[in-house]
Amino acid sequence: MGEPIIRMQDVTKSFGEQKILQGLSFEVRRGECLGLMGGSGTGKSVTLRLLVGLLKPDTGTIEVDGLDLARLTRHELADLRRRMGYVFQDGALINWLSVSENLALPLQENTHLGEEEIRAKVAEKLALVHVEGAADKMPSELSGGMRRRVGLARALITDPEIVLYDEPNAGLDPKIARSINHLMRELSDKLAVTSVVVEHRVDCLRTVADEVIFLYEGHALVRAATEEFFRPKNPILRDFLGT
């Protein structure tokens, strides 16, 4: 693993009187896959939105590759977001565009690539997630697992350095979820991207994460290597999962 590429230091975030994060601090090293786990309302998805600049912290600092998000101009933040991919729970595909059009859109809007180059890039990413034959399909024609794979391909279309996953197993049956987990691990190893994965399913984090943080009452209660975190009789898991 390399040097830290993501740093959150003493971050707080509230919505009205509801306190979500209360001094959250952690780092993610370049090339690492970090899992975020915790009960409902502990700030896991809020943390992802803070990292991509969709929300601003009330206090504390967030740095991505040495850049303080609070100090960036709108254009600088847009440039940084182009180096990040975001995988939504349901794939978040645009329903009236085909799969290939969904993938091509970020390239058309954010790059100067020609149409031939874009087509080649789309084909490359669909092959990477093993859905080469889905290019001309509409989102409504895709199974849940295929939607998730296409959503992942779209997140990777700009060759990001960082990928953020929000509940990648949500709504999937165990067999399909396992295939998505193995794909995420395969891509992490092959592309050497830095990843942050919000997930409550143990199987997902055991497969994809190098380390896991357990969020509790808005801060990192414990951080450990994945194997150590999920060791038998871990008191955190015993209380959270009833194991």
Q: Is 158 helix (H, G, I), strand (E, B) or coil?
A: coil
- pLDDT tens-digit profile of 22-68? 999 999 999 999 999 988 878 898 999 999 999 999 999 999 999 99
- CATH number of 31's domain: 3.40.50.300
User: Quick check: is 19 in a domain?
Assistant: yes
- Please tell me whether residue 134 adopts helix, strand or coil conformation: helix
For 195-231, the pLDDT digits (tens) are 999 998 889 999 999 999 999 888 888 899 999 888 8
pLDDT digits 0-9 by tens, 161-186: 999 999 888 878 888 888 889 888 98
Residues 6 or more apart whose CB falls under 8 angstroms from that of 163 comprise 84, 85, 86, 87, 155, 156, 193, 194, 195, 196
φ/ψ of residue 69, rounded to 5: -60, -35
pTM exceeds cut of 0.75: yes
Q: Residue 99 falls within a domain, yes or no? A: no
Interatomic CA distance for residues 30 and 196, integer angstroms: 11
Is there a domain that residue 176 lies in? no
In a domain, 161, yes or no: no
Structural domain boundaries, residue 49: 1-83+203-243
Measured CA to CA, the distance from residue 36 to residue 34 in angstroms comes to: 7
Residue 171 lies in a domain: no
Confirm whether 230 is domain-assigned: yes
Question: In this structure, is residue 96 part of a structural domain?
Answer: no
Give the pLDDT confidence score for residue 239 in this predicted structure. Answer: 62
Give the chain's domain count.
Answer: 1
The more confidently predicted of residues 145 and 213 is 213
